[in-house]
Structure formats: C-alpha cells, structure tokens
C-alpha cells in the first residue's frame, strides 16, 4: 500500500526543481493541497519565490486534489492506467478523485498541476510501457509545401492556408478543435507516405495561419456543422478536386463523419481518429477568460488527454499548438464538437458498406473514448474499429511513430477496397 506522505516527501524536492514546472507556475499565487484520507501535503506557489511544500497544518487552501490510496498509487505509478494519467483526467474523468476550490483558482493552477503530476512520476524514472519501441520513421519537412487559397464558403470568401506533400491519391487531414494542421506535420513529412499518397492539410479559418475574414466584426467566434461542413466541402471541391480519403481527429473526425453522411460523392474513404459519440463536458468557461492565460491553460487542458507513455518531446509540441490558438477559438469550436455533434444521429446515415470507414481510438482518451468508437462502429455496418493502446486524444502528434502502423493499415484497407 502506498505511503502517501513518504512518497511525496521523497519526490517533491526533485519535482519542484523541474524547469517546466517552474515555468508553468510563473506568477501563480496559490496554496494547493494533495490529500489522501487524513494525510495531506500543501504546496505553496508564490510569485518570484521558489515553490515550497509543507504539512497541511494552517494556511488557507485554494485548490485541493483528494483521492483514496488506490487512486494515488495508480496516478503516481510509472505507467498510470487510463483516467489516472493527469490532473485534468482525475478532475474530469475519475469519479474517485475530487478537485475542490474556486473554479477560477483551479483554472489558474491547472498548468502547474498538470506538470506536477507528470514530474512526480518522472522522478522514479522515464515512463515506458516496457514493450518494443516503435520503428523510427524517415521524415523530411522539406517535402512539405505551404500556400494560400481563396475559398468561397457558405459565409463568403476566406483565405485559407494549406500544406501538401507527395503525389498519388489524395488524403486530406482535418485538425482538432482549437488547433491547426501542424498536428499532421509528422505525417506530411513522412517520406514513405509521400511516395504513395498526395497528402493535404489545411487550417480552418480563424485557426493557425488562416486569418479571420476581413469582414469579421471581432465578436465571439462560434462553430456549427453548417459552417464547418462548408469549409471542408469547399476545400475538397476546389483544391482537391478528386475523391479523397478524409482523415479527421476529434472535432475533425466528427465533421468527417458528417461529410460522409451528406456528401459521400466527394470521398473515397474516412479515417476517424478519436471520434466522439457525444462529448459533452468539454466546454469550460476558463478556455476564454480575462483572468486566465488562455495559452497556458488550454495547452494544459489538452495535455491531460494524452497518453503518459507518449514521448515527452512530442507531447510538448502537441500542447504548444494549443498555446498559440486565437482567443475564444477553442471554446468556439467546442460549440460544435461538445454541444452539437451527435454520433448516434450521424452514423446511421453513413453507408459504410459502400464508403469505407475506419475508426481508431487511443485507450487514454477520456473525451472520445474507446466505448464511443465501438458504439459508432456498431451504428455503421461494414465499418471497422480499432483500439490503440498507449495513445491518447492526439495520436498523430503525441506519438506519431506508434500511431503510424494503425494509420497505414487503414489507408491500405481503403486502397484495397477500391
């Protein structure tokens, strides 16, 4: 059984020296309590002062994370199981853990607490699965070409940035909510993929390098299925101009299924990564809030969705994209992904017997779960579903080498289906 106090007091002196934790806590003024039954340790974060820890006697606690011994033992293990891998997973997806405190204070502390849980595990050694590492992939970013195209969408003209690499049958990538096509950089630069396929990815308007339209009034951005589908179908008709394999992740998977239901004539197949059935609960008022750093908070919020076994460098890059999102764009996208999309309504309208559909879901994803993927496949006779162990919500960017075999098998299955 875990000795909670002894474990924390042994690990905290090393954890609090972590450069990323110090950067994540910059400017934070809060007392955070980690509690297990009657045992508790407090961390005192203060601006311009090294973070210190102490016993829980005295002091007003701003944020408390409380869990029973079994949950703490799992969360602090070298390889934590799903729903134990991060502070946000414990908060949102683990019914046995409790986060208390003013929600604003929780949001302000989230970047530091996400890193804290990670680094408390890293103190005992690197997080690995113990299996064989994936085969390294030859990549060349020099083969990726970027540019702009003017698309006339449902809402008018938009200047859209897109990237392309390779030649052959087209494969179009759709990014997740609040992100951009940099998420697919590891696939676009994949030398072997580019020999067989024409790879394309674009930043939706308001995202990444696609600027808002000039007639935007500066008001709150909000995405819905009609607007989103017009961006995707216009790109397919104008830039691709041939039946394509549509690959989307999360929000991108949801719209890929929507396009498959409404415009199968534009497609050769669909690969839906981390597709939700319904993903209610992702909206959070602090994704766009004057008292919270959107870049720091939102990147931490999504980092909690990744697998703890994904390489740290790739996870940092995947989160970095979220640190650069436009104000209000992430929460505006979730109006479609979390509030509107209903896989139980869309999936039965897709003829997966004629249009190949492959669903791939990481086991660490608590936003679009493996149960969601299996349920969607059951609603689309002829489709396929595969779990991806040791991957999270952003498989193509958090661990592209591990993800690649799942992806290439789906591509080849669509090719074989003609």
395 within domain boundaries: yes
Mean pLDDT within 377-381: 98
Does the pLDDT value for residue 10 go beyond 80?
yes
The 3-state DSSP class for residue 217 equals: coil
pLDDT at position 58 is 72
228 within domain boundaries: yes
Structure tokens at 39: 């045992």
Residue range 199-243, pLDDT digits in tens: 999 999 999 999 998 889 999 999 999 999 999 999 999 999 999
Q: Choose one of 92, 122, 152: the last residue of a domain.
A: 122
What are the residue ranges of helices labelled H in 16-85?
A: 19-24, 69-75
> What's the mean pLDDT when you consider all of the chain?
95
CATH code (residue 354): 3.40.50.1820
Mean pLDDT within 390-416: 98
% pLDDT > 90, the chain: 89
Does the pLDDT value for residue 77 go beyond 80?
yes
Structure tokens at 379: 């609603």
For residue 159, what are the β-bridge partners? 150
275 within domain boundaries: yes
Name the pLDDT band for 130 (thresholds 50, 70, 90): low
127 within domain boundaries: no
Residues 264 and 148 placed together within one structural domain of the fold = yes
129 within domain boundaries: no
Does the pLDDT value for residue 101 go beyond 90?
yes
Residues 393 and 252 placed together within one structural domain of the fold = yes
Residues 366 and 243 placed together within one structural domain of the fold = yes
CATH code (residue 110): 3.30.1050.10
Using CB atoms within 10 Å of the CB of residue 317, give its burial: 0 to 12 exposed, 13 to 18 middle, 19+ buried: middle
| Core vs surface per residue 51-71: b (16+ CB within 10 A) or e | bebeebeeeebbbbbbbeeeb
Residues 263 and 155 placed together within one structural domain of the fold = yes
Which of 41-55, 58-72, 377-391 is predicted least confidently? 41-55
pLDDT at position 14 is 92
Q: Choose one of 93, 122, 151: the last residue of a domain.
A: 122
pLDDT at position 2 is 77
Residues 267 and 227 placed together within one structural domain of the fold = yes
Residues 100 and 229 placed together within one structural domain of the fold = no
Write out the residue range of the structural domain in which residue 10 sits.
4-122
For tokens 């994540």, name the residue.
24
Residues 100 and 147 placed together within one structural domain of the fold = no
Residue range 288-336, pLDDT digits in tens: 999 999 999 999 999 999 999 999 999 999 999 999 999 999 999 999 9
For tokens 């996870």, name the residue.
315
59 within domain boundaries: yes
114, 304 contact by CB (below 8 A): yes
Q: How far apart are the first and last CA of the chain?
A: 56
Name the pLDDT band for 1 (thresholds 50, 70, 90): low
Residues 188 and 99 placed together within one structural domain of the fold = no
Nearest CA-CA partner of 279 in 26, 93, 15: 93
Q: Choose one of 70, 89, 122: the last residue of a domain.
A: 122
84 within domain boundaries: yes
pLDDT at position 27 is 95
* Interatomic CA distance for residues 194 and 69, integer angstroms: 49
pLDDT at position 281 is 72
Choice between 55 and 366, residue whose per-residue pLDDT is larger: 366
Q: How many domains does one find in the chain?
A: 2
Name the pLDDT band for 94 (thresholds 50, 70, 90): very high
Which of 99-108, 260-269, 274-283 is predicted least confidently? 274-283
Residues 109 and 27 placed together within one structural domain of the fold = yes
pTM of the model: 0.95
202 within domain boundaries: yes
Residues 207 and 323 placed together within one structural domain of the fold = yes
Rg (CA), the chain: 22
Residues 231 and 193 placed together within one structural domain of the fold = yes
Residues 201 and 85 placed together within one structural domain of the fold = no
Mean pLDDT within 162-179: 98
Q: In what order do the strands lie in the sheet with 30-36?
A: 49-55, 39-46, 30-36, 63-66, 98-101
């Amino acid at each position: 059984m875990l000795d909670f106090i002894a474990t924390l007091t042994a690990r905290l002196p090393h954890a609090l020296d972590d450069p990323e934790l110090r950067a994540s806590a910059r400017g934070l003024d809060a007392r955070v309590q980690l509690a297990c039954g009657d045992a508790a340790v407090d961390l005192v974060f203060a601006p311009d002062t090294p973070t210190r820890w102490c016993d829980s006697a005295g002091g007003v606690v701003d944020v408390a994370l409380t869990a029973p011994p079994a949950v703490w033992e799992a969360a602090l293990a070298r390889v934590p199981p799903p729903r134990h891998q991060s502070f946000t997973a414990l908060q949102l997806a683990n019914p046995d853990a409790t986060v208390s405190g003013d929600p604003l204070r929780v949001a302000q502390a989230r970047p530091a607490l996400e890193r804290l849980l990670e680094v408390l595990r890293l103190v005992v050694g690197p997080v690995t699965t113990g299996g064989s590492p994936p085969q390294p992939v030859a990549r060349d970013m020099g083969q990726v070409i970027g540019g702009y195209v003017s698309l006339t969408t449902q809402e008018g003209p938009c200047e859209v940035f897109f990237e392309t690499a390779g030649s052959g049958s087209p494969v179009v990538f759709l990014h997740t909510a609040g992100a951009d096509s940099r998420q697919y950089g590891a696939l676009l630069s994949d030398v072997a993929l580019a020999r067989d396929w024409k790879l394309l990815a674009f930043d939706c308007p308001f995202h990444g390098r696609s600027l808002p339209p000039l007639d935007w009034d500066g008001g709150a951005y909000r995405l819905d299925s009609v607007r989103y589908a017009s961006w995707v179908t216009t790109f397919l008709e104008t830039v691709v101009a041939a039946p394509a394999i549509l690959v989307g992740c999360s929000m991108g998977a949801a719209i890929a299924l929507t396009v498959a239901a409404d415009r199968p004539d534009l497609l050769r197949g669909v690969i839906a990564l981390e597709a939700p059935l319904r993903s209610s609960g992702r909206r959070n008022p602090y994704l766009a809030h004057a008292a919270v750093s959107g870049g720091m908070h939102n990147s931490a919020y999504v980092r909690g969705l990744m697998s703890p076994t994904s390489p740290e460098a790739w996870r940092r890059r995947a989160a970095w994209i979220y640190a650069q999102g436009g104000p209000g764009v992430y929460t505006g996208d979730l109006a479609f992904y979390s509030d509107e999309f209903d896989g139980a309504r869309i999936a039965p309208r897709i003829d997966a017997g004629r249009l190949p559909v492959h669903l791939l879901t990481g086991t660490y994803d608590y936003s679009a779960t493996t149960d969601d993927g299996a349920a969607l496949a059951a609603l689309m006779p002829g489709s396929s579903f595969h779990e991806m162990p040791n991957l999270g919500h952003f498989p193509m960017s958090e661990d592209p080498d591990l993800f690649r075999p799942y992806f290439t098998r789906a591509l080849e299955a669509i090719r074989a289906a003609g």
